[in-house]
Structure 1
Amino acid sequence: MLNGRNLNECTRNLGLSHYRLQMMKQSEINTVDPFHMMRAFLPNLKLEISTAGLPRSIK
């Protein structure tokens, strides 16, 4: 079942895979999700600009 490897080798590999999956998910959250949010809010932003104009300052 372990194909000649001991249990420590298998659990170490699982930890690496879990760490790699965590890093990939965190990277997706930090890079891809903001882009999706921007695309989702874009129609609202365009509507706001068309009705109220561009803001002069943000306080």
Structure 2
Amino acid sequence: MIRDTANKLIEKFYGVLPYETAVHLANAQKELLKAVGSVIDEQIKWTDVHVERAHGKQPQS
């Protein structure tokens, strides 16, 4: 229910913008989310490395 309301609100926001602006903004949002995902993936990798190093083991590749 909340998700449906949020989706409708977002669609209304995009609807008031010129089409090209909405597309550009949506693409920028996707790029930002991909960047955040990349940072999270890197942190997950380093978390494992830190645990291995803390216990004197060689990090696995």
Q: TM-score range by the shorter chain?
A: 0.5 to 0.7
Counterpart position of 2:22: 10
Aligned mates of 1:21, 1:13 — CA distance in 2: 12
* Alignment coverage as a number of residue pairs: 42
Report sequence identity in percent.
2
Counterpart position of 2:9: none
List alignment gaps of at least 5 residues for structure 2. Answer: 1-11
Aligned mates of 2:44, 2:24 — CA distance in 1: 29
| Higher fraction of helix | 2
Q: TM-score, normalised by structure 1?
A: 0.52
1:30 to 33, 36, 42: 42
Bigger radius of gyration: 1
Q: Which amino acid aligns with 1:11?
A: V
Aligned mates of 2:24, 2:34 — CA distance in 1: 15
Any runs of at least 4 consecutive aligned residues in structure 1 with deviations exceeding 6 A, and if so which?
Answer: none
List alignment gaps of at least 5 residues for structure 1. Answer: 50-59
